[in-house]
Amino acid sequence: MRAYYFDNLEGDQRLPHDSGMDVSDEVLKSIGVLHWHIPVDAEGKYEQDISAIAKERNYKNHDVVAISKEGLGDEFETKIKSFYHEHMHEDEEIRYLLEGTGFFDVREHSSESWIRCHMGAGDLLVLPAGIYHRFTLDMGNRVRTMRLFKDEPKWIAHNRGDQTDANPFRLEYLKSIEVQ
């Protein structure tokens, strides 16, 4: 995974939007974002590694989601745009890419800048509950990803706004990164 500041220039959300300014692991950790690279292998060793992380983080369920033009048909562009709305979740978001490539953008609270995380097969990303983020494919237009859940699979996005800014999970997140 490569992380860098988003350039904020006009253009297709699936383009790199690379400012040329890389973001260090320390900056990611300071906003609660964790990541690992666990190669997807034919023997299935990656499944053991993912299971170990899931157990450590108390995750009990998972599913696999594929996003592509072929799979979504006429709804593809609408779905991609909906994933790109700035939002947060009340649970950690853990994604492991099995195939394809895409971008997770996370909001750096102190600067309000977007940090773009370009992920490929074998990349695992953990976003803390309450962090503002968004997702899009890159120009490859396809991804297959494993989503991990503490309980039953669910995905509820809370789009950014005054109400979400006051959400208890958002406030707890800000406290965890020591924002007053």
The annotation places the binding site at 87, 89, 93, 133
By C-alpha distance, which of 162, 158, 89 is closest to 126?
89
Tokens linked to 162? 């005054």
By C-alpha distance, which of 99, 78, 92 is closest to 146?
99
Annotated binding-site positions for Fe(2+): 87, 89, 93, 133
Annotated binding-site positions for Ni(2+): 87, 89, 93, 133
By C-alpha distance, which of 135, 56, 57, 46 is closest to 91?
57
Say how far residue 28 (Cα) sits from the centre of its chain: 12
Burial 102-120, CB ≥16 within 10 A → b, else e: bbbbbbbbeeebbbbbbbb
Residue type, position 67, single letter: I
| SS3 category, 147 | strand
